[in-house]
A and B are shown apart, each in its own frame.
Chain A
Amino acid sequence: MSASRTNWKGIMLFLLPVALLYCAFFLYPLVFVFVTGCTSWNGIRAMSFTGLSNYIKLFGNGTFRLSLRNNFIWAFALAFIQVPLATITAMVLARKPRGWRFLRTVYFLPNVISQVAIAMMWMALYNAEYGILNHFLSAIGLESWTHNWLGEIGTALPAVIAQQVLYIGYFMIIILAGILSIPDSLYEAAEMDGAGVLRQELYVTLPMIRGLLVTSMTLAVAYGLRHFEATYLMTNGGPANSTSVLGLLLYKKMGALDYGQANAIGSVLVLTGGLLIIFIRRIFGRVESASETVQ
């Protein structure tokens, strides 16, 4: 506690467990991925340095480009569909309609259930023969709308994405907490000025939670790039690679003992994630400073 004598030995001892785990599972793996991404290596023979040839090969590969595109679609759907839906829900719940605490708890529920269980559940719902989605469409006379949802190229990707995007609970919780912390006096002042509910949301709530929205969208992009489980379980990338994502491709390259290419994909994941996050922060940062100059 005394500023004069820092107990370095004690401090080091307390930091040691985290330092060991962090170096072994974050620092070393990150360096490893970037270095071996520039090699030809199968995990057994000695690796040979090949520079950027893995990356050149990857970008010439149709499946890789499709996977990268799909990751962007995932990120886009989460950031620009899921986050806005979560925001609207949070705005509605923040006005404390009857049962809002119950709804808040239930909306978040899917987030504590494993991706595997959820994927298996939705596979049953989407199933072409006994799936309830097709049964439902037939029952209300929309038989022509029925599909083999996960088996057709046109519907597979939207189907896998939809079962994630519609679970809005995660971002709803974050944004709701932000809205509830806005002082009531701001809304009272807006109401005195004659602003209706919609205007209050647009001119009071939205500007006040901009930081949280940036955080949510950053997280959404990160999740979009990391996505793996649902695709692996529901379609394994098919039909015809139409639902493939980078994580899955990495897993497959690793299974084929092409560690060089696998780690090049890993590097792309890390770099793309970092760049997109910086990009989002910059765009929203600029919006923020622009609005400040207006005021």
Chain B
Amino acid sequence: MGRNRSPSLIADRAASLAKWLFLLFFLIITLFPLIWLVISSFKTNLEFQTKPFSIPELWQFANYINAVSISGLHLLFLHTIVVSFASTALNILAASMAAFVISREPFRGHETVFNIVVAGILVPVIALMVPYFRLISGLGLYDTLFGLIITYAAVSIPVSVFLIHGFMRSIPRELEEAAVIDGCSLAQRFTRVIFPLSRLGLVTAGTFVFLFSWNEFIYALLLTSSVKARTLQLGIRFFKSQFITDYTSMYAAIVLSIIPTIFVYILFHDKIIKGMTSGAVKG
């Protein structure tokens, strides 16, 4: 890549320094608050308030035990895991079925169907609070995990249809032809050929839906009222009143709530990046 040559050495040095300072600034902005949060979660409350920059004198693992016992964190975790996995599964199943016929069975009007569904990406779903509340209440799903599952699955339909469609369209025809000659029906072609071949695309879309569902807050706030359907994100909001002055245990609870998403990110970051990129290039 012959992109990095500059005529003057001094100007080169200065530019290089400016470049690294710039990159360092965003590295600090990104990582420092997180590291500070983790370190604070191991301090005593007194230490946290008087010595905000220090490393804890004694690492307080008790904060983490407090976090679980005070907030019932294990239940919040369980709810969030159920909601995230179920909404992802429902979303991917529905979206891949639609994406399959739109991309591989080009019926008349398939482009219109695709455009209408994908246009949903631009709808500010936050504006639809009242209808969602009415709909979920009307279905008798208010304050239930299933109400959240169906909402999250539905709201993520446009983006996952978009991602899966793009992926399925790139599968070579030849791979399907043998199945057609063998007399496979539409459903068999989907379950035996295209669905397994799309695994990579499905994982990319699934990661998006999973992270969205895990982190979603507004509709959890709107569609639930009690602990029986409370998710982690909603729980964190209530931590403040539960912990009152025990800040550091609260930070322990927050750290625990973000560990799974960071774990998913480390596992799938190349797929996330690929998915975002394919989404943006089409725009």
Interface residues of A (CB under 8 A from B): 1, 6-8, 10-11, 14-15, 17-19, 21-22, 24-26, 28-30, 32-33, 36, 43, 85, 88-89, 92-93, 95-97, 103-110, 112-118, 120-122, 124-125, 129-132, 135, 139, 166-170, 173-174, 177-178, 184, 187-188, 191, 196-197, 200, 211-212, 214-216, 218, 222, 225-226, 228-229, 233, 247, 250-251, 254, 259, 262-263, 265-267, 269-270, 273-274, 277
Tell me whether A187 and B2 are in contact (CB under 8 A). Answer: yes
Min distance, Cβ A183 to any Cβ of chain B, angstroms: 11
Chain B residues closer than 8 Å to A25, beta-carbon distance: 125, 128, 132, 135, 151, 154-155, 157
Q: Smallest CB–CB gap between A261 and chain B, Å?
A: 10
> Which residues of B are in contact with A by a Cβ distance under 8 Å?
1-7, 15, 19-20, 22-23, 26-27, 29-31, 33-34, 36-37, 40, 48-49, 52-53, 93-95, 97-98, 100-102, 105, 107-108, 113, 116-117, 120, 122-135, 150-151, 153-155, 157-158, 161, 176, 180, 185-187, 190, 211, 214-215, 217-218, 222, 232-233, 236-237, 239-240, 247, 250-251, 254, 257-258, 261-262, 264-265, 269, 272-273, 276-277, 280-281, 283
Are the CB atoms of B97 and A18 closer together than 8 Å?
A: yes
Would you call A125 and B95 a contact (CB within 8 A)? no
A273, B125: Cα distance in complex, Å: 11
Which one of B105, B128, B161, B247 contacts A29 once the chains associate, using CB atoms below 8 Å? B128
- Whether B122 pairs with A277 at a CB distance below 8 angstroms is yes
Per CB-CB distance, the 9 closest pairs between chain A and chain B, nearest first, are A215-B283, A29-B131, A17-B94, A266-B127, A114-B215, A25-B154, A18-B98, A269-B127, A177-B277
B141 CB to nearest chain A CB (Å): 12
Kindly report which residue of chain A lies nearest to residue B173, judged by CB atoms: A1
Is there contact, CB below 8 Å, between B155 and A114?
no
B165–chain A nearest beta-carbon distance, Å:
11
User: Does the CB pair B161–A196 fall under 8 Å?
Assistant: no
Minimum CB–CB distance from B235 to chain A (whole Å) comes to: 9
Q: Are B124 and A166 in contact (CB under 8 A)?
A: no
Q: State whether B180 touches A174 (Cβ < 8 A).
A: no
Q: In angstroms, how far is the closest chain B Cβ from the Cβ of A162?
A: 10
Q: Is B117 touching A22 in the complex (CB atoms < 8 A)?
A: yes
Say yes or no: B33 contacts A21, CB within 8 Å.
no
CB pair A112 B22 closer than 8 Å: no
Q: Which residues of B contact A115 (CB under 8 A)?
A: 215, 217
Docked CA distance A184–B3 (Å): 8
Q: A229–B126 Cα gap in the complex (Å)?
A: 11
B127 and A33 contact, CB distance less than 8 A: yes
A33, B105: Cβ atoms under 8 Å? Answer: no
Cβ of A259: which chain B residues have Cβ within 8 Å of it?
130
CB-contact partner of B130 in A33, A108, A191, under 8 A: A33
Determine whether the beta carbon of B129 is less than 8 Å from that of A116.
Answer: no
Closest A residue by C-beta to B264: A112
Residues in A whose Cβ lies below 8 Å from that of B187: 10
Chain A contacts of B161 at CB under 8 A? 18
Q: Are A254 and B6 in contact (CB under 8 A)?
A: no
Chain B residues in 8 Å Cβ range of A28: 131, 135
Can you name 18 A-B residue pairings with CB atoms under 8 Å? A1-B176, A11-B105, A17-B97, A29-B131, A32-B134, A97-B23, A109-B262, A112-B262, A113-B258, A117-B233, A121-B37, A124-B40, A130-B247, A174-B280, A191-B3, A212-B280, A214-B283, A273-B124
For the complex, give the distance between the alpha carbons of A10 and B211 in Å: 32
Give A124 to B280 CA distance when docked, in angstroms: 34
Closest-CB distance, A55 to chain B (whole angstroms): 14
Q: How far is the CA of A167 from the CA of B27 in the complex (A)?
A: 10
Contact between A107 and B157, CB atoms less than 8 A apart: no
Known: A116-B237, A124-B251. A109 touches B157 (CB 8 A): no
* Complex CA distance for A237 and B135, rounded to whole angstroms: 27
User: A33–B264 contact, CB under 8 A?
Assistant: no
CB-defined contacts of B215 to chain A, threshold 8 Å? 112-116
A120 in contact with B254 (CB, 8 Å): yes
Q: Which residues of B contact A170 (CB under 8 A)?
A: 276
> Which single residue of chain B is at the shortest CB-CB distance from A269?
B127
4 new A-B contacts at CB < 8 Å, known A8-B107, A169-B30: A26-B120, A29-B128, A113-B215, A121-B33
The CA-CA distance from A251 to B222 in the complex, in Å, is 9
Alpha-carbon distance between A10 and B188 when the two chains are bound, in angstroms: 11
- Alpha-carbon gap, A29 to B124, bound state (A): 11
B248 to chain A, nearest CB (A): 10
Q: Is the CB of B97 within 8 A of A92?
A: no
A33 and B133 CA atoms in complex are apart in Å by 12
Q: Are B128 and A166 in contact (CB under 8 A)?
A: no
Q: Report the separation of the CA atoms of residues A204 and B176 in the bound assembly, to the nearest whole angstrom.
A: 42
Whole-angstrom distance from the CB of B39 to the nearest CB of chain A? 11
> Given the complex, which residues of A lie within 8 Å of B155, measured CB to CB?
25
Closest chain-B Cβ to A226's Cβ sits at a distance in Å of 5
- If A33-B128, A92-B23, A121-B37 touch, does A116 touch B217 (CB 8 Å cutoff)? yes
Q: Contact: A103 with B27, CB < 8 Å?
A: yes
Residues of chain A lying within 8 A (CB to CB) of residue B265: 108-109, 112
| Alpha-carbon distance between A216 and B283 when the two chains are bound, in angstroms | 9
Q: A24-B135, A266-B130 are in contact. Are A30 and B123 (CB under 8 A)?
A: yes
Residues of B within 8 A of A167 (CB): 29-30
When the two chains form their complex, are residues B127 and A197 in contact, meaning their CB atoms are under 8 A apart? no
Min CB distance A292 to B, Å, is 19
